[in-house]
Amino acid sequence: MDPFAEVAVTVINSVPLDPRSVRSLRVDAAHTGPTGARDRRSLTLDPGRPIERFTAHYPRFTDDFALEAEAVASLTPAPGTSWPVRVGPVALATADHVIRVTPDALGVSVVRAEADPGFFALAAAAEVTLTRAGRPVAVARLTADEPAAALVVPGAEPLDATVEALESGGQRIVVARHHGTPAIRVPASAVQVIAPDEITVRLTDDAAALPYLALTLTDPRATPGPCASKAPPRSAGRAGGPRSSRPSPTPTAWPTSPPAPTAAPGRWPPPRRARRAHPN
């Protein structure tokens, strides 16, 4: 019988490794080695590989297998600073030879943000800023090429989020605010004018020379029913000042067949009058 036993150790990571938020995440494991002494190894977790495995050997007749693990993370600097934020080392659970790296175990908060594809047809980008107690702790820019982000910040306290739409000229417009929300969705409607307070119409030189101009404003959300009126909408004229249009008259319902003849009540057809005999 082989005096050494083999143990498969699995590392499962559920912390999103967005490079815009996390620079590195390392797991340091210590376990019983072939000589009975502690062996140590380090694993740097990759964004595309949430599961890592390694094999350990220990003397089965003289020692029991023991496993300990801890994690250390390096986060991107907070806005306005230049030093990365170090998290850990923190101890991790190792039940059944499985090392689990979770946001709770690491002591971090995760906020996921994603913008709908239609948003970028109206804005150049969206910027999500996380603040805690009024101080910015993380920021991510969403673009058409990278419409989603996972922000990882130290601490478990609630976070406030501000979403800004960025125009091509550099102008910023705040389109949403959130408090304590773990997932933020930025819809295209965030930059669409649903109910404008004011509508401005400017005439070109060609239109200004016309003797009369009618403007019709319709609500694109309204869907006319099958019994909608066909009367033209009210118009605003230029020549001679505004003109008012009278409401269209109500159409008269004509019968589709001639009316039936009337008769005395109780008898139909009406009685025929007797003809008087003509004297010869």
Per-residue pLDDT tens digits for 203-261: 777 777 777 777 777 765 555 544 444 444 444 444 444 444 444 444 444 444 445 55
Look-up of token digits 């949430």: 50
Cβ atoms of 103 and 159 within 8 Å: the answer is: no
* Residue 192 pLDDT: 67
The candidate with the shortest Cα–Cα distance to 186, out of 164, 158, 218, is 164
Going by pLDDT thresholds of 50, 70 and 90, the confidence category of residue 81 is confident
pLDDT one-digit tens code per residue, 160-204:
999 999 887 778 888 889 998 899 999 888 876 655 667 777 777
Is the pTM higher than 0.85? The answer reads no
* Residue 276 pLDDT: 56
Tokens of 247: 């409401």
Angle at 5 between CA 4 and CA 8, to 5 degrees: 140
As to burial, measured by CB atoms within 10 angstroms (0-12 exposed, 13-18 middle, 19+ buried), residue 76 is buried
* Residue 115 pLDDT: 93
Question: Count H helices, E strands: the chain?
Answer: 2, 14
pLDDT one-digit tens code per residue, 100-155:
999 999 999 999 999 998 899 888 899 999 999 889 999 999 999 999 999 999 98
* Residue 219 pLDDT: 62
Tell me the C-alpha distance between 12 and 37, whole Å: 25
The candidate with the shortest Cα–Cα distance to 160, out of 187, 127, 134, 126, is 134
Cβ atoms of 129 and 164 within 8 Å: the answer is: yes
pLDDT one-digit tens code per residue, 1-49:
678 888 999 999 999 999 889 999 999 999 998 888 889 999 999 888 8
Respond yes or no on whether the N-terminal peptide bond of residue 247 is cis (omega within 30° of 0): no
Tell me the C-alpha distance between 123 and 143, whole Å: 9
Q: Could you please report the per-residue DSSP string of 157-196?
A: S--EEEEEEE-TTS-EEEEEEEES-SEEEE-GGGGS-SS-
Which segments of the chain belong to CATH 2.60.40? Answer: 109-190
The candidate with the shortest Cα–Cα distance to 184, out of 165, 152, 162, is 162
Tell me the C-alpha distance between 108 and 182, whole Å: 12
Cβ atoms of 15 and 106 within 8 Å: the answer is: yes
Q: How far apart are the first and last CA of the chain?
A: 152
**Three-class SS state of 206:** helix
CATH 2.60.40 assigned to domain 109-190? The reply is yes
